[in-house]
A and B are shown apart, each in its own frame.
Chain A
Amino acid sequence: MFIARKKAIRYVMAIFIIFSLNFAIPRAMPGDPVMNLLGEDVIVSESSVAEMRTKMGLDEPLYIQYLKYWSDIFHLDLGYSYHLHSEVSKVLFTKMKWTLLLVVPTIILGAVIGTPLGALAGWRRKDSNEKIMTMSFLFVYCTPPYFLSILFIYLFSFKIGWFPLKGFYTTGTPGDIVYHLFLPVTVMTLFAASRNYMIMRGSVIQEMQMLYATYARAKGLFGREILFRHIFKNASLPIITLVALDFGFIFSGALFVEIVFSMNGMGNLIYDAILARDYPVLQGSFLLITVMVVLANLLADILYGLLDPRVRWQG
């Protein structure tokens, strides 16, 4: 009970500090949100700029803005974006829907494909087939996401002509959406899978050296049984952390793919908000990511406890 209370306090403190940083970091960046509202070839008087600044609440002293920021959070009000002409909560909700469609399959497929293949590669690391597979995953792992996305578009959309070049949909039917998502999801899955593969492979190699693996063989278990009944569970602990973090950054992790495939998701939203110094959108997005990361960590803590009795016993 004491430990649970200690953890709860830790999470609350983390949320408080991160929320405060969410307020401070956008304002610490050079650049004026008001100027960013204007077009490049627009000239205005100083009085118009001052009027816009007042309208956006940026003329108030910082501590007033900070207090208002907390007050808005407690009222579940994420503010208004003058760049996007909409309430931030509405913008986030719209973008989140699409980003979830892009990222959730990626995380699941990346874990489902990368983890067992990585475990097998670690277990049979001297096998030539596994060596080729490891090299292939290493190649993907080292390739810049932008390059791989462009390469896939060039090959599968331009040369072979199988897939569309942009957007989440053309007509909006479920089949059409899946058709548009197939290529970006494939690219992102390859990245997620290759990372999980490399981590799992290393983790299995490490676990194989432990005495319990030798004991399992001594008691007469076959290779794959040792791997999947004993080693896999212990070796997958780092993967849990990674997948939890993936869920934490679910709304921001697809920027390159969103840019290449011209998808209006959360990645592009945050990127544009940074360029435009759109404080409310930045604050709202970071707040959402913070909550997701904290929840994901909490979930990882619980899963760790379930998988590893040592964590459970130590609390």
Chain B
Amino acid sequence: MKNIWSVWIFLLFLLSLILSTGALGADDADGMTLRIGTPNLVKSPSLVGDYYMGIFAHLSNPPLMRVAEDGTLEGQTAEMYEVSDDGKTWKFYIDDDLYWSDGTKVTPDDVKFTIEYYTANSVIGWLEDLLEEVSVTDDNAVVIELSEPYATLNQEFVTYNILPKHVWEDIDDPKEYTNKGEYVGCGPFYIKGTALEAGVLYFEKNPHWKGTQPNIDSVEVHMYSNMDVLSIALKRGDVDAYYKYGRGYPYANVRALEEDTFDFVVTDYTGLTFLGMNIRKEPLSDVSFREAISYAVDYDEIERIVALGYGGAANRGFVPRSMAYFKETEQLEYDSSNAKENLDDAGYVDSDGDGLREDLNGDDMELVLLIRSDDMDYQRIAELLKEYLGNVGIDVEIRMVERSTWFDLKDEYNYDMTVTGTTPWGMWMWANWGTGYFDSRRTGRGVLHTIDDPEFHALCDDIMSTTDEGQLEEYAHDVQDYYAENLPGIALYWGQYVTPYNDDWTGWSSDPIFGIYRLDTFLNVVKA
């Protein structure tokens, strides 16, 4: 009996020792620190090579351009820009008041170096064939000469972080360069270090920053590989706000935070969840069939169940309201009688009376609905779609595969329909307005590249070759009309970007692409 008590006393002593030493270590932060919790995991401390590190580095190495709160473009490292009428010559005027964190002044040479360096090292691989010359002018500007018009170049420069020439010129391959320590930056904060084993990216105030002085001394980005634990971290106060690129806080978790001391930044979300059609394969190649499917889906129910009220039914024009030059196309409508009529008229009838329709050759038809296993929302939507299509006599097999297999199958066009999503930036890429997801001339991980239609290709080319705002608006409307008429993808709902933050903090701002992760947030947030 005595022995058992000794063991318990020893264990209690050990536990208190651990707790006290741990607590001693955890309490040594200096100054005011903003802690952001994110499920976006940095896998390697490579500013150029790691996808999420690149996004977080927008704070330390701000790109030339940025997205305003209303979704329009405005200058950042470049104060302003000009473009020639033919869309081939771009001039970016660099902010004269920027300094690197090591005290060196930011010059147009840094920007010229960054563009040439990224192009030569396949970071901006698509620019390689277009770029003729980058030069520096006396008026603190960089001039980019292109061989062909590229009207969305300013938009592309929203994502590429600017690098200090004097640091990076000796590094051969920027994508493979890693550094756990400091990265010299010119934003209000610079990267002080990356501790992957602790799951933290540390930013310190740039001592040479001349702009609006931030109210905080440092920023920490805390990475969590489990969403449930991240929610606990928010509630416990380990982190002050949540951030996930391209996706807000899970709608299902919002209610749990509403009861606590949290407020929410709610912004219209430029990305969306959609039903992609493999229009290269029968029967989805038949626009009447796609039309029928569009009537078979109960959009309100999907929005209610999946978006939990944080969204709204979408239009046939696919592009959400938050994008520039949005056109109010016809709203998607649930009408199963209409869907059945459309299918009957197009020849997809149930001739053998088994309750399921046959294809135009009279053969049994079972559509493969391909979904990724890493998104619970897609799984819920797939189940609902199976039910809706079953109601109009279309048999659906849900094929759930993990991410890499999904990439393979969709690239091989080995599916009929797929539930997938766009990121906000993805809606902007290529010729804007979601064209990057459909144009068959490009490939990529998340893109479907299903549209071969020369009319659509010409439209994309036209968009990329005009810098005339009026003309651009016209093309944008044409793209939305094209989507509405041909339905290569059906937006299942337009959602909202919900970002919770501890209500001790004020001064948040948000844009439709990067959400709260923007310079204005870090310059203005303040703790009460």
Which of A37-45, A290-298, A299-307 is found at the contact surface with chain B?
A: A37-45
Quick one: closest A residue to B20, CB to CB? A175
Please, how many angstroms separate the alpha-carbon atoms of A258 and B225 in the complex? 8
Q: Which residue of the partner chain A has the closest CB to B406?
A: A31
Could you say which residues of chain A place their CB within 8 Å of the CB of B266?
none
On whether the beta carbons of B175 and A85 are closer than 8 Å, the reply is yes
Nearest chain A CB to B452 CB, angstrom units: 15
- From known contacts A41-B422, A41-B426, infer whether A165 and B442 are also in contact, taking CB-CB under 8 Å: no
Q: How far is the CA of A154 from the CA of B236 in the complex (A)?
A: 10
| B423: min CB distance to chain A, Å | 4
**Neighbouring A residues of B125 by C-beta, 8 Å:** 44-45, 48
- In the complex, whether B216 has a CB less than 8 A from a CB of chain A is no
A291 to chain B, nearest CB (A): 24
Binds A, one of B65-73, B194-202, B310-318, B359-367: B194-202
Q: Select from chain A the residue with minimum beta-carbon distance to B408.
A: A30
Residues 1-44 of chain A: 1 if any B CB is under 8 Å from the residue's CB, otherwise 0?
Answer: 00000000000000000000000000001111001101111111
**B404 an interface residue at 8 Å Cβ cutoff?**
yes
- Chain A residues contacting B229 (CB-CB under 8 Å) are 150, 153, 165-166, 260-262
Question: Pick the contact of B22 from A51, A168, A179, A276 — CB < 8 Å?
Answer: A179
Contact yes or no, B409 A157, CB < 8 A: no
A39 and B404: CB pair below 8 A?
no
Decide: A167 near B225, CB < 8 A? Known: A48-B122, A179-B21. Answer: no
Residues of B within 8 A of A264 (CB): 196-197, 199
Chain B neighbourhood of A275, CB < 8 A: 402-404
Bound CA span A173–B444, Å: 43
Cβ-defined contact, A260 with B226, below 8 A: yes
Q: Mark B391-424, 1 if CB is under 8 A from A, else 0.
A: 0000000000111110111010000000000110
Q: Which residue in A51, A83, A85, A157 is a CB contact (below 8 Å) of B122?
A: A51
- A149-170 CB mask vs B (1 if < 8 Å, else 0) is 0100110011001111111111
CA distance A290 to B49 in the complex (A): 31
Q: Are the CB atoms of B223 and A262 closer together than 8 Å?
A: yes
CB distance from B261 to the nearest CB of A (A): 15
Closest Cβ–Cβ distance, residue A39 to chain B (whole Å): 5
Chain A residues with Cβ below 8 Å from B199 are 166-167, 262, 264
**Chain A residue nearest in CB terms to B232:** A158
Q: How far is the CA of A173 from the CA of B24 in the complex (A)?
A: 10
Q: Contact: A44 with B446, CB < 8 Å? A: no
Produce 1/0 per residue, A264-278, CB < 8 A to B: 100010001001110
Cα distance, A36 to B224, chains bound together (Å)? 21
Compute how far the CA of A49 lies from the CA of B444 in the bound complex, rounded to whole angstroms. Answer: 9
| B224 touches which of A42, A157, A182, A262 (Cβ 8 Å) | A262
Q: Is the CB of B176 within 8 A of A85?
A: yes
Interface pair A85/B22, CB less than 8 Å apart: no
Report whether A44 and B25 are in contact in the complex, using a CB–CB cutoff of 8 Å. Answer: no
On chain A, the residues within 8 Å of B228 by CB distance are 150, 260
Q: Give every chain B residue within 8 A of A162 (Cβ-Cβ).
A: 19
Question: Does the CB pair A154–B232 fall under 8 Å?
Answer: yes
Query: Given A45-B442, A168-B198, A178 and B21 touching (CB < 8 A)?
Result: yes
Bitwise interface map of A from 135 to 155 toward B, beta carbon under 8 Å scored 1, else 0: 000000000000000100110
User: Which B residues are in CB contact (< 8 Å) with A43?
Assistant: 126, 429-430, 436, 442-444, 447
Q: Tell yes or no: A62 within 8 A of B by CB.
A: no
CB distance from B171 to the nearest CB of A (A): 12
Q: Are A176 and B446 in contact (CB under 8 A)?
A: no
Beta-carbon nearest neighbor of B425 in chain A: A41
A261 to B226 Cα, complex, angstroms:
8
Q: Of A49, A52, A85, which contacts B177 at CB under 8 A?
A: A85
Q: Is the CB of A164 within 8 A of B50?
A: no
Distance, CA A49 to CA B445, complexed state (A):
11
A179 to B22, CA, bound (A): 5
Bound complex: CA of A240 vs CA of B523, how far in Å? 60
Q: Are A158 and B236 in contact (CB under 8 A)?
A: yes
Is B28 within 8 A of A168, CB to CB?
A: no
- Of the residues B23, B28, B444, contact of A38 by C-beta under 8 Å: B444
Q: Which residue of B24, B233, B403 is within 8 Å of A175 (Cβ)?
A: B24
A43-B444, A43-B447 given; A31·B198 CB < 8 A: no
Q: Does B282 contact A (CB under 8 A)?
A: no
CB distance from B178 to the nearest CB of A (A): 5
Q: Given A43-B447, A44-B125, A166-B222, do A176 and B49 touch, yes or no (CB 8 Å)?
A: no
Q: Is the CB of A44 within 8 A of B442?
A: yes
- Closest Cβ of chain B to A75, distance in Å, is 21
Residue of chain A at shortest CB distance from B55? A39
Q: Which of A170-204 contact B (CB under 8 A)?
A: 170-176, 178-180, 182
Give which listed residue, A49, A170, A262, contacts B25 with CB less than 8 A: A170
**A86 touches B (CB below 8 Å):** yes
Q: Which chain B residues numbered 334 to 364 have a C-beta less than 8 Å away from chain A?
A: none
Contact call B18/A178, Cβ cutoff below 8 A? yes
Q: A85-B175, A173-B25 are in contact. Are A259 and B226 (CB under 8 A)?
A: yes
B429 touches A41 (CB 8 A): yes
Q: Which residues of A contact B51 (CB under 8 A)?
A: 39
In the complex, B238 has a CB within 8 A of chain A: yes
Query: Across the interface, which residues of B come within 8 angstroms of A170, CB to CB?
Result: 25-26, 198
Q: Least Cβ distance of A183 to chain B in Å?
A: 10
| B25:A165 contact, CB within 8 angstroms | no
Q: Is the CB of B425 within 8 A of A85?
A: no
* Contact call B232/A165, Cβ cutoff below 8 A: yes
Interface check B46, CB cutoff 8 A: yes
Q: Does A70 contact B (CB under 8 A)?
A: no
Find chain B residues with CB under 8 A from A127 CB: none
B246 near A: Cβ within 8 Å?
Answer: yes
CB of B288 closer than 8 Å to a CB of A: no
Most chain A beta-carbon contacts within 10 A, residue among B178, B197, B409: B197
Complex Cα–Cα for A35 and B407 (A): 8
Contact (Cβ within 8 A) B408 A32: yes
- Please determine whether A176 and B436 come into contact, CB atoms closer than 8 angstroms: no
**Closest chain B CB from A154 CB (angstroms):** 7
B44 within 8 A of A: yes
A268 vs chain B, min Cβ distance (A): 7
**Within residues 143 to 179 of chain B, which ones have a CB less than 8 A from any CB in chain A?**
175-178
Q: A150-B229, A157-B232, A182-B18 are in contact. Are A42 and B200 (CB under 8 A)?
A: no
Which of B197, B404, B443 contacts A44 (CB under 8 A)?
B443
When distances are taken between beta carbons in the complex, the residues of chain B under 8 Å from A35 are 404, 407-408, 411, 443-445
Kindly state the separation between the CA atoms of A98 and B197 in the bound complex, as whole angstroms: 8
Partner among B50, B236, B426 whose Cβ is within 8 Å of the Cβ of A161? B236
A84 at the interface (CB under 8 A from B): yes
Checking B49, B198, B235, B403 against A169 with a beta-carbon cut-off of 8 angstroms, the contacting residue is B198
Q: In this assembly, does B43 line the interface, its C-beta being within 8 Å of a C-beta of chain A?
A: yes
**Please, which residue of chain B has its CB at the minimum distance from the CB of A258?**
B225
- Residue on A nearest B196 in the bound complex, by CB: A264
Give the distance in Å from the alpha carbon of A39 to the alpha carbon of B229 in the complex: 25
Residue contacts A-B, CB under 8 angstroms, 22 given: A31-B408, A32-B404, A35-B411, A36-B404, A41-B246, A41-B423, A41-B436, A43-B429, A43-B447, A48-B125, A48-B126, A49-B443, A161-B236, A163-B22, A169-B197, A170-B26, A172-B198, A182-B18, A260-B228, A262-B226, A275-B403, A275-B404
Closest 4 CB pairs of A and B: A179-B22, A175-B21, A31-B404, A41-B426
